[in-house]
Amino acid sequence: MKPYPKNVWSPAGGWWSQPKAWKRNSVIVGLGTTVLTGFLFYKSAQIERRTSYPTDWVPSMLWAKQFKEDDPKFQPPKFRE
C-alpha cells in the first residue's frame, strides 16, 4: 500500500501534474499577458490628464499624450535625486 492516494483531484492537476502541452500553454498565457499589459499601458497613456503640472519630474511625462501633443512647449522639471 502506497502512503498517498492513487487518484487525487485538484484544480492544479493532482500530485504530479505535467500536461502534454505545458510549454505551449505557458507561451500562450505569457503572450496574452504581454499583449493585454501593453494595451492597458497604451490606453492609460492616451487618457492620462493632470489637473496641475507636476513640480518634480514624473516618468509618465515621457509618454503621456498631454505633454507630447497637447502642450509641446512644456518643459518638464529636471530630475532630482
58: closest CA among 40, 72, 45?
45
| pTM tops 0.75 | no
Beta carbons of 52 and 71 less than 8 angstroms apart: no
| CA 15 – CA 12 distance, rounded (Å) | 9
Tens digit of each residue's pLDDT (9 = 90 or more) over 59-73: 887 787 777 777 767
Residue-range domain boundaries for the chain = 22-70
Q: Which residue has the higher pLDDT, 16 or 55?
A: 55
Tens digit of each residue's pLDDT (9 = 90 or more) over 23-80: 898 999 999 999 999 999 999 888 888 777 777 777 887 787 777 777 767 766 676 6
